[in-house]
Structure 1
Amino acid sequence: MKDIILVSLGLLLCSAGIFLFAGMYSFEFSSHSVKRIILGGAALIVVWGIITVVFRHRAFIVNLNVSLISFAVVAPFIAEIVIRSSIALGVDVFRNPKLYADPLNDDDYWKLRYIWNPRNLATGNAERFVVDQLLGWSPPKTRDNTMGIVSDAPYSQDFRKPAILFYGDSFVYGATLVPIPQRIPQQLDRLLQTYPVYNYGVSAFGVDQIFLRFRETHSAFQHPIIIFGILTEDIDRSVLNVHAAPKPRFELQDGELDLQNIPIPEDSAKWYMQNPVAIKSYFIALFRRTYQIVTGGSGRRIEKERVNKKIIEAVVNEARKHDLPIVFVVFYSRHELEDVSWRETFLKNLLEELGIPYIDTKAVLHDAAKEQSINIREFYLYRYNNDHHNELGNCVIAAAITGTLADKIGTEITSIKPANCFD
């Protein structure tokens, strides 16, 4: 009986190692080093399986296998106790939501972030954002800022005059390290002069929220020009129920968009209590998250493509329904500057399919960097560990937008060369 058990165990180990080795070619690993480590682990499992079968009569092999099996059974329980105790005691290394959930795919990441630091975008930055029952959060409307846009001074608007409305997330809203006059819409406003440009960007918005803000605000103006900015990662935010704070979300019902989660409650703390973290085991969550990182999991790609395709189509249909000229601007996070992600490919293919003009900021910045013989990093706030553009990057992008507007919208707009930003 002992022989049968040991032979079965050895064959099981060999099969597991071979399966792991064969399965490696089905995944995209985060690095070659990770792949080599897993290859070594697979080889070790196979070798140990062979040793178990060949030397099954030796007491040392029997005892070692018993010890390994016992450890494998008990270790997860011990690990769970250690993790939960460390979290309860406030040990920072274990209070990192990224250990247990993916910020691009899992609501639990944002829920844990709030629980361990009960301050979200809507409640922790009252001077910048307030709870919005439709959008989740938005800049507050005040006597000096009646439209709730990004502005550093009181303004008066004439809704009857032609205007440009610039929508997007924090790449449009602007990094807080960058003075408001140096943000993209503000620089565009200065370059164009003939058209006022209003900054409707809101930090941490997904494509869904950007669309809703556009749909709810453009009708105040008479025939405005629309600029719709999308950071590639905004695609991921569209499948989340919570990000920097509780948010709306579109689901597909019979192929049509169905808006969920509204109205957003004014009391964010109550929402988090009513929608607790779904994690049952932090050890399993840690194991699963590690596996996702190592294998470069798909991250709900099909769901994201389907939902965002319908949202972007809705954006275009809304613009065409009201005869509004529209241009898209595609922004990129740091890790996408040298590589082409599925998000970039998806966005470009969709916009070309819809026949919508767009500015590819990666290409714009690469061309400017090459022309000026500088590193593309010079256009970003990397020295501050921030992925957003700095004043120079904003200027180059704003200048590129003038060129697209002049080509696609009308000759009354003067095209400005990005090279002018270096004068």
Structure 2
Amino acid sequence: MQPTAKRRVVFRCLLVVGSFLFAIATTETVVRLMGQVDVDGNFSFQGQAVGHRVPPVTAITETLAKYQTTSITRMIYDAETGWRPRPHISTHGGNYRYNARGIRSPPKKYDLQPADGTLRIALFGDSFTHGDDVPFDDTWGAMLEEKLNALGIAAEVINFGVSAYGMDQAFLRWQTLGRSYSPHIVLFGFQAENVNRNVNMLRAFYAGGTGIPFSKPRFVLDDDGTLRLINSPTLSLDRVPKVMANMDSWKLAKYETFYDKARFAKRFWHCSRALSLAVERLSDNEPSRRIAPYRLEGEPARVTLALLSEFRRDVERHNAEFYIVHLPKESDLDRLLENRGCAYQQLLERVSEQQIVIDPQPRLLNAARADSLESLYQRHYSPKGNGIITEVITNILATTLADKR
């Protein structure tokens, strides 16, 4: 080969290598510029955690410091449930108001015993039961009270729902507060994603960037199938960041589903944000990841089913009726509208076999097809979405009550 030809080959090889390196450098730069780094140094890209992770100790420490220097946070520490609404507070422009017991309500006090001739209904659940994003009068609990009274049924609905609660916390709120109000009917809002919360104790591991810096209790299933409560009382405020910083020495670490030691290990590809992102995307089996927590043989589903059964038994021991209200999220309906199925269908069917389930999902789907999904949600339910849920519950309860007369 002539020297000139050799130079051309070398030049072309260098050009290819240079172009390749330039593309890598450009990709790395774009990923770094478009991503976000939190106070603990954890990197995320379009909401997805990327690369080496460390427990968010700094973030939680800062959140706790703010919490301890103010008296206006909506949530406060609770040794039994993890957190609960602050009594006598009004937030979100007056849309969220809580009475002396931390119950979302209009400015009123509920007597422990219902008035003679009044049907008392108690609601338990997370933010979809609490009615996040809408004023009190637009929650399905408030609408239910209004609808039943309009039908001539003297009813009082008390909303014990709390934002960010797991099903276990809702059950404990029934035990520690709700049952003292002697309701005739208990409605539990089943929001399926909370199956994950049932196997979580340190919320910061489950919900990155959380504004709730507390730990929560959880139940585990012993070999004989009985539920056992752990992390109760919950970690004191000063212990939360210390435990997170030293998870491997915490005696309950094996029960924290969302602490994966391998996830916090350093890998050689973590030196590159772009390469780390590629690894995350290639290894993320989204359909399997969505369905996994709801598999009937898995711990989250087994704990959930046992928890709901115990919830019902305890309600019935206190002479009340127990109903489950299925509360699908916007993403759940979106999957159904796109014919991708319900990720937790098997679990929902099993719950329906064991419990009385009120299911507004068909009505919500019809409304989404007739109008739009966005008309039913504004992160949580819109007034229209809450109205549909109210109508479904009202029809079933009114029919059931009429049959008993």
For the criterion TM > 0.5, the same-fold answer is yes
In the alignment, what sits opposite 2:376?
Answer: 379
State whether residues 138 and 148 of structure 1, in contact with CA within 8 Å, keep that contact through their aligned partners in structure 2: yes
In the alignment, what sits opposite 1:184?
Answer: 140
Question: In structure 2, what residue type is equivalent to 1:343?
Answer: Y
In the alignment, what sits opposite 1:359?
Answer: 358
Instruction: Write out per-residue CA displacement over residues 283-327 of structure 1, whole angstroms, 9 at most, x where no aligned residue.
Output: 568677545523544445411111111111111211222231111
The answer to whether the aligner puts 1:225 opposite 2:188 as a matched pair is no
State whether residues 235 and 343 of structure 1, in contact with CA within 8 Å, keep that contact through their aligned partners in structure 2: no
Measure, in 1, the Cα distance between the counterparts of 2:40 and 2:220. 37
How many residues were matched structurally? Answer: 320
User: What secondary structure sits across from 1:163 in the alignment?
Assistant: strand
Structure 1 pair 358/114, CA: closer, same or farther in 2 (3 Å)? farther
Question: In structure 2, what residue type is equivalent to 1:294?
Answer: N
Structure 1 pair 374/210, CA: closer, same or farther in 2 (3 Å)? same
User: What secondary structure sits across from 2:215 in the alignment?
Assistant: coil
The answer to whether the aligner puts 1:274 opposite 2:266 as a matched pair is no
In the alignment, what sits opposite 1:265?
Answer: 235
Shift of 1:197: 0.4
Question: In structure 1, what residue type is equivalent to 2:138?
Answer: Q
Match of 1:131 among 49, 71, 77: 77
In the alignment, what sits opposite 1:119?
Answer: 63
Structure 1 pair 116/221, CA: closer, same or farther in 2 (3 Å)? closer
Shift of 1:393: 1.0
Shift of 1:235: 0.9
Instruction: Write out per-residue CA displacement over residues 139-175 of structure 1, whole angstroms, 9 at most, x where no aligned residue.
Output: 1234971332112423343514341101110001112
The answer to whether the aligner puts 1:209 opposite 2:209 as a matched pair is no
In the alignment, what sits opposite 1:140?
Answer: 86
The answer to whether the aligner puts 1:247 opposite 2:209 as a matched pair is no
Instruction: Write out per-residue CA displacement over residues 243-263 of structure 1, whole angstroms, 9 at most, x where no aligned residue.
Output: 243111111112211111111
State whether residues 148 and 398 of structure 2, in contact with CA within 8 Å, keep that contact through their aligned partners in structure 1: no
Measure, in 1, the Cα distance between the counterparts of 2:78 and 2:166. 15
Question: In structure 1, what residue type is equivalent to 2:346?
Answer: T
In the alignment, what sits opposite 1:23?
Answer: none
In the alignment, what sits opposite 1:294?
Answer: 285
Match of 2:394 among 390, 402, 421: 402
Structure 1 pair 366/89, CA: closer, same or farther in 2 (3 Å)? closer
TM-score, length-scaled by structure 2: 0.67
Structure 1 pair 206/222, CA: closer, same or farther in 2 (3 Å)? closer
Measure, in 1, the Cα distance between the counterparts of 2:137 and 2:308. 29
Shift of 1:369: 4.6
The answer to whether the aligner puts 1:99 opposite 2:53 as a matched pair is no
Between Structure 1 and Structure 2, which shows a larger proportion of helix residues?
1
* Unaligned ranges ≥5, structure 1: 1-59, 72-77, 102-107, 414-423
The answer to whether the aligner puts 1:173 opposite 2:119 as a matched pair is no
- Decide which structure has the larger Cα Rg and report it: 1
Shift of 1:215: 2.4
Structure 1 pair 359/376, CA: closer, same or farther in 2 (3 Å)? farther
State whether residues 168 and 228 of structure 1, in contact with CA within 8 Å, keep that contact through their aligned partners in structure 2: yes
User: What secondary structure sits across from 2:155 in the alignment?
Assistant: coil
Shift of 1:343: 1.9
Instruction: Write out per-residue CA displacement over residues 332-384 of structure 1, whole angstroms, 9 at most, x where no aligned residue.
Output: 1222111433424302x223322x322223212123455xx322331111xxx
Comparing 326-335 with 288-297, which one deviates more in the overlay?
Answer: 288-297
Between Structure 1 and Structure 2, which shows a larger proportion of strand residues?
2
Shift of 1:395: 1.3
State whether residues 123 and 186 of structure 2, in contact with CA within 8 Å, keep that contact through their aligned partners in structure 1: yes
Comparing 186-195 with 86-95, which one deviates more in the overlay?
Answer: 86-95
Question: In structure 1, what residue type is equivalent to 2:265?
Answer: K
In the alignment, what sits opposite 1:341?
Answer: 342
Shift of 1:188: 1.2
State whether residues 43 and 49 of structure 2, in contact with CA within 8 Å, keep that contact through their aligned partners in structure 1: no
* Unaligned ranges ≥5, structure 2: 1-9, 22-27, 90-97, 204-211, 248-260, 271-275
State whether residues 79 and 234 of structure 2, in contact with CA within 8 Å, keep that contact through their aligned partners in structure 1: yes
